Amino acid sequence: MEALLVSATTVAIAEMGDRTQLLSLVLATQFRKPRAILAGMLVATLANHAAAGFIGVWLGAFLTPAVLDGVVGASMLGMAAWTLKPDTLEDGTEIGPRGAFLATLVAFFIAEIGDKTQIATVALAAAYANLVLVVAGTTAGMMLANAPVVFLGSAFAGRLPMRAIHLGASLLFAVLGAVFLIRACLS
């Protein structure tokens, strides 16, 4: 039980202000399908954190922190560019729950690669013998931190300035990318 509680608390705290919270807001305002977004988030987080628990230590032996920072930095710059060119829908076309689910699943899985919550999952899995409780705890922490953002973002989507949100998100992703690339160069 300790593994579950420590894992949930650690990730919920680490997730505050993280890029995946920003991603949650963007997805909520774009799709306005909170249940589908939460389901995609849950499946992506379970898959990502399970992979982190199983192979994170093994990968750590092959990737230096500098290489990992470089990969994360480059991916953040890619997300910054992607955020500037949001997908558009044809007139009258509505994205169903399945489209919102799949978009969230892919975006969350990719955003979590190399993220501090994934790294925390690796460390917690090494510290506790029960991998199932660690993954359940880290996933619960992720959901606790992001579910309110999804529901609030969906509720206020019609009133939010989408262009400003996309510009702000892009800027934040670019800054994060630059920070990771600088860390990679300084390592």
Task: Check whether 54 has a pLDDT greater than 70.
Answer: yes
User: Is 73 inside any structural domain?
Assistant: no
User: Is 129 inside any structural domain?
Assistant: yes
User: Is 55 inside any structural domain?
Assistant: yes
Q: How many CB atoms lie within 10 A of CB 46?
A: 16
Give me the pLDDT at residue 51, please. Answer: 92
User: Is 154 inside any structural domain?
Assistant: yes
Give me the pLDDT at residue 34, please. Answer: 92
User: Is 89 inside any structural domain?
Assistant: no
User: Is 185 inside any structural domain?
Assistant: no
Q: What length does the chain have?
A: 187
Q: Which of 2-6, 11-15, 114-118 has the highest mean pLDDT?
A: 2-6
Task: Check whether 156 has a pLDDT greater than 50.
Answer: yes
Give me the pLDDT at residue 87, please. Answer: 47
Spatial neighbors of 65 by CB under 8 A, at least 6 apart, are: 187
Token pair 């044809």 is found at 90
Distances from the Cα of 24 to the Cα of 37, 61, 85, 94, 127, angstroms: 8, 32, 17, 19, 29
pTM over 0.75: no
User: Is 100 inside any structural domain?
Assistant: yes
pLDDT-based confidence at residue 80 (cuts at 50, 70, 90): confident
Number of domains observed in the structure of the chain: 1
Domain of 110, in residue numbers: 2-63+95-159
Give me the pLDDT at residue 91, please. Answer: 44
Give me the pLDDT at residue 82, please. Answer: 67
**Model pLDDT for residues 117-146, shown as the tens digit of each residue:** 888 888 777 777 788 998 999 999 999 989
- Residue 12's identity, in one-letter code, is A
Instruction: Please give the average per-residue pLDDT across 53-72, as a whole number.
Output: 67
Q: How far apart, in whole angstroms, are the C-alpha atoms of residue 146 and residue 46?
A: 14
Judge contact between 147 and 15, C-beta under 8 A. no
Q: Terminus-to-terminus CA distance in the chain, angstroms? A: 37
Give me the pLDDT at residue 55, please. Answer: 66
User: Is 83 inside any structural domain?
Assistant: no
Spatial neighbors of 107 by CB under 8 A, at least 6 apart, are: 23, 27, 44
User: For 141-154, b where at least 16 C-beta lie within 10 A, e where not — what string?
Assistant: bbbebbbebbbebb
Helix locations, 33-161, DSSP H: 34-62, 65-84, 97-112, 116-127, 131-155
Judge contact between 83 and 166, C-beta under 8 A. yes
Give me the pLDDT at residue 90, please. Answer: 46
Give me the pLDDT at residue 93, please. Answer: 42
Give me the pLDDT at residue 29, please. Answer: 83
Give me the pLDDT at residue 4, please. Answer: 94
**Model pLDDT for residues 18-45, shown as the tens digit of each residue:** 778 888 888 888 888 899 999 999 999 9
Q: Is 120 left (phi over 0), alpha (psi -120 to 50) or beta?
A: alpha
Instruction: Please give the average per-residue pLDDT across 70-96, as a whole number.
Output: 61
